[in-house]
Amino acid sequence: MEYRDQILNGNLTLPGASTIEAKLGEDILAKAESLWSALWHNFLNHESPINSTYWYEQWDDPKSFNLIIMSLCKSGWLISTAIPERNWAEMQLNRDHLLSFVTEAELLEVRSQYKFQQYRPRATKSTKSDLVRLNGKLDRTGLIRTGFMKAGNTRYSYDLDTLVKYQEAIQLNLTKSMSKIRDIHPQMKASITDYDEISVDILNYLVDEQPTMTRGNCVADSRGRAISSSLSKVANPISCKDFRALLTMEQ
């Protein structure tokens, strides 16, 4: 697929992957793809850089690390910045290079769609019962929660009439924290990829599409309490009480 199509589909693969594999081997290709994925997702999320020293440590082979970085920089995809005076090094995708394949508006739409899909509540199957978040990492510690797993498949929707009736107030509650940040920093630019804009899109989606959703998989915290994957979604009934009150039972 051409780069333009890949970008528009929100899935830009590592340029020159076959050459990297041929010259440096499968292991280096796997590391390069992992680095590229982080670069691409950081770009889609916030157009933000990644920490080069962190990736240097992950890579554990300075020579091939720099070879890949240099090659991506020279082909225009990447900007790597190393500032010894500030003890700082970071890298990010070259926005101007991306804009040689798509327009500014298209790129913004790709990022907006990516975030919309990331935060949209959906119906996913819950199948995991033994995963535990321990000091920030997933692990198996002996805690088993089959009840939480089963309950993760409970299907629900939201009461459309009431949602529409109170849409304005619900939207204000949903975007409250971003509104406060904007009040403190009025110079902050608004964009269609901002969390509050995405939240409004998702609210409209809930009204237009009336989807059926589930809570999905849970992991346990180190003590055994449930951390639901749906907590990362906008308008979930666990952290948003307005949506909890709108719950309608689906079978």
> In whole angstroms, how close is the CB of 5 to other proteins at the nearest point?
27
DSSP letters, 184-250, are: H-TTPPP-TTSHHHHHHHHHHHHHHH---B----EEE-TTS-EEEGGGGSTT-TTT-HHHHHTEEE-
Q: Least Å distance between CB 93 and other proteins?
A: 12
Residue number, 66 or 191, with CB nearest to other proteins: 66
User: In this complex, which beta carbon is closest to other proteins, that of residue 2 or of residue 96?
Assistant: 96
In angstroms, rounded to a whole number, what is the distance separating the alpha carbons of residues 5 and 177? 35
* Least distance CB 9 / other proteins (angstroms): 27
Determine the Cα–Cα distance for residues 251 and 248; give it in Å rounded to an integer. Answer: 10
* Nearest CB to other proteins, comparing residues 28 and 143: 143
Beta bridge partners of 158: 247
Task: Give the nearest distance from C-beta 55 to other proteins in angstroms.
Answer: 9
Cβ closer to other proteins: 65 or 114? 65
Task: Give the CA count within 13 Å in the CB-facing half-sphere of 214.
Answer: 17
Query: By the 8 A CB rule, do 167 and 207 touch?
Result: yes
Q: Which is nearer to other proteins, 4 or 125 (CB)?
A: 125
Q: CB of 220: closest distance to other proteins in angstroms?
A: 7
Of the two residues 108 and 153, which places its CB atom closer to other proteins in the complex?
A: 153
Kindly state the smallest distance separating residue 84's Cβ from other proteins, in Å: 5
Closest to 242 (Cα-Cα) out of 208, 209, 185, 199: 199
Binding site for other proteins (CB under 8 A): 52-53, 56, 62, 66, 69-70, 73, 78-84, 87-89, 132, 134-135, 141-143, 145-148, 150-151, 153-156, 159, 162, 166, 168-170, 172-173, 176, 215, 220-226, 237-238, 241-242, 244-249, 251
